[in-house]
Every structure is written in C-alpha cells, then in structure tokens.
Structure 1
Amino acid sequence: MRAFIVAALVAAGSLGGAAAWADTVEVANVKYETAVDLAGQKLLLNGAGIRYKFVIKVYTAGLYLTHKASTTAEVLAAPGPKRIHISMLRDIDGNELGKLFTKGIEANVTREEFAKSINGVLKLSEIFASRKQLNSGDSFYVDYVPGIGSTVLLNGKPIGETIKEPEFFSSLLRIWLGDKPADDNLKEALLGLKKDRKR
C-alpha cells in the first residue's frame, strides 16, 4: 500500500511538472509554449505576435531565446540556441513566401551580410518552392544551434539540409526585427514590448 501511495505521489509530481512546463501563450488561436527544449537547453518565449498584410492575418510568429531580450541588438548577440516559430493563418504559395522572406532579408542587411547568408537564403527558398503551398494551420520552425547551424522543421519534421552559416539565422531574424521589419507591431511583440493576442 505504501509503495502504491509513493508511486501515486511520484506520478502526481511528474504530471505537475509537465503541466508547469507546458504553459502556453495564445495568439490568434495558436498556442506557443512559454518554454521549450532545444539542444539540451531551455529556451523562453521572448514574445509572439501576428503578421498582418493590410487587415489580413497572414501568420503568427514566436521568438525563443535562452534569456529575455528587448532590443534587436540583444537578440542577435544572445548566446546559445534560438528558435523562430511561424504558424500560418491563411494559405500561401510557397514560392511567394520564399520571395517575401528573401526581400525581407535584403531590405535589412548589408550586401556583405547578404553575401554571407546567400547559401541559406537559397536553401530556404528551395524548401518553400518544393512545398508549393503552405496551408492555414501549417507551422515551421527555424532552429539555430551554435556550431551546428540552422535547421528548418515543417510541422515538426526536419526538412532540407542544415544551413551551416551562422550569419544566415541573424539575417533571417532581421526580417522581423530589422530597421525595416515586415510588421512594426510584430517586431514589438517579438521583443516582448507589447502583447499581441488578438484573435
């Protein structure tokens, strides 16, 4: 009986821990965990928000870092693994999304930085082109791990080769955090400066 009680308490403790670990923030009905594990390190949700095109919701985005950061410089300088998590809110052509990301990078980096990131930019474009269309509800991560590079995961599954150039991930983040971000409100939300939980 005592062994049963101990086992029950252990199980309850485990469930409690799991519940605490699985806290979420909801943005446009998309749930983002407040903490995730990547390469053996705990990442915190720095911020999450919605990308609008005019009044249309295109996708949600969440940024994960080892420590909270409130400026672009702090995000780019942050040590350890990082993740950008995108969830589509409408259907979009894969080629179109690839082109938008490429334009977003070009608008926010120097020619030298773009040249160092070009291999990753091309690989990302190829991944989206091969998908043809991303549907509402699809999600993808780009995970960056120092010393390894950036991995793209579509609906939780790795797709394409690892992008080894560290400059690529910094260039990618500038789409949303650069001087000419895709969406000013989304930039503030990712930096944790405002809470964007509109539905």
Structure 2
Amino acid sequence: MRCIPGGRAAALSLILAAGLAGAPAHSADAEVGGVRVPERLAEGGHALVLNGAGLRTRFVVKVYVAALYATEKTGDAAALINSTQPRRMRLQLLRDVDSKSLDGALQDGLRDNTSAQDLAALKEPAQRLSGLMAEIGAAREGDVIDLDFDAQGVAIARNGKRLGRIDDPAFARALLRVWLGDSPAQASLKKALLGN
C-alpha cells in the first residue's frame, strides 16, 4: 500500500468529506399527514418539483394528502392555473372514498370557482370527469390519484394506471381552481399547495 504524504492526505480527506457532504444522506422528501411526499417527480420527460403539499380534511376527518408539482416553484396561484407547462396534482387517500363522493367534491369545487356562463360551456368535459371518476369505483386508503395538467388539458390516473384524458384547456384551468381558486376546497390546503 502506497503512503500519501501528510499534506496531500489531509487535502484528499477534505475533498472526500466535501464530496460526501454534498451528497444527501437521505432524500429531501416531505412528510404530510404521515405520507411521504417526494420532492421531485418526472412526467413526460419533464422534471417536476414539489410546489407544496397539505392535508385535506372534511370536518375532523383526514381525507387525502394533496401535493402540487410544477416545473418551477411559485406562490402565485394564477400563474400555476394559467401555466401551459406540466403540473401534477397528486391526491393520496387517507381513507376509503367512493367515486360518487370524490366526483361530487370535484363538481362542487368547479361550481364554486367557475362562473355560471363558463360552467355551462364546460358541461361536456365536466360530464367526462364524472365518467372517469366512476371508473375509479371505490378508491381505497393508500390509493394515489394523479391529475396531470398540460397545455392541452388534463390526464387522470389511479395508482399509476392512466384512466383517460380531457382535452380542454379551459376545463383543466377550472379543475385546478378547485384547489387554487378564490373559493378553494380548503383555504389552508390552498396555502400549503402554494408553499406557504
């Protein structure tokens, strides 16, 4: 074994220590409501970063952990809603939820954050959403529902299995307003999704 002179050995030790310090010993994932929320995701070749995550409760019952991913972090709800870049809303269920309840909550959120005139124009995609929610059937505790938003619309998946798409940019914006609009599903959740 070859000896390294003292000064060089110390320098080598410092370089190695600095390199190890730069490498994370564990991921920077967050934890919300006992659920691990990844700091980064990849979607369609795009790297997405966690914009924010929070807990959706109804009365005192924990319903799901919502995590919003975007190409870059922002606290601007309008920028997230109107972006044409990929975004993902991930819902990890903390209890069993039947598809009618899930769809009902989404439809209520659409009504609460969309003018009557715009809602009438979005009737067909809203019905398509109801159909996709019906395909989910009874969602179980631990299930993950992903809503992937892009410039053309929104795709919906359950536990990584794609259920379908709704190609309507105006509807995609309206759906994202369920969480980020002026009358969100839960004000504290909106704040958390915006990284506050």
TM-score (norm 1): 0.80
1:175 and 2:181 aligned: no
Distance 1:20 1:124 in 2: 42
Maintained 8 Å contact 1:116/1:167? no
1:13 maps to which residue?
none
1:103 maps to which residue?
108
- Aligned-partner SS, 1:97: helix
2:54 maps to which residue?
49
Maintained 8 Å contact 2:82/2:173? no
Mapping of 1:14-163 within 5 angstroms?
A: 23-147=28-152, 149-159=153-163, 161-163=164-166
Give the superposition deviation at 1:22: 5.7
Equivalent residue in structure 2 for 1:186, among 184, 189, 192? 189
**RMSD between aligned residues:** 2.2
Instruction: Tell me which amino acid in the other structure corresponds to 2:44.
Output: A
Maintained 8 Å contact 1:86/1:139? yes
Instruction: Tell me which amino acid in the other structure corresponds to 1:141.
Output: D
TM-score (norm 2): 0.81
Greater Cα offset, 59-68 or 123-132: 123-132
Largest Rg, 1 or 2: 2
Long gaps (5+) in structure 1 = 1-15, 194-199
Maintained 8 Å contact 2:103/2:130? yes
- Aligned-partner SS, 2:166: coil
Long gaps (5+) in structure 2 = 1-21
- Aligned-partner SS, 2:156: strand
CA offsets, 1:157-188, max 9 Å, x none? 101x3211011221111111111111111010
- Give identity over the alignment, percent: 35
Instruction: Tell me which amino acid in the other structure corresponds to 2:82.
Output: A
Distance 1:131 1:62 in 2: 20
- Aligned-partner SS, 2:185: coil
Give the superposition deviation at 1:145: 2.5
Give the superposition deviation at 1:34: 1.0
Distance 2:121 2:47 in 1: 29
Maintained 8 Å contact 1:118/1:168? no
Q: Number of paired residues? A: 176
Maintained 8 Å contact 2:84/2:150? no
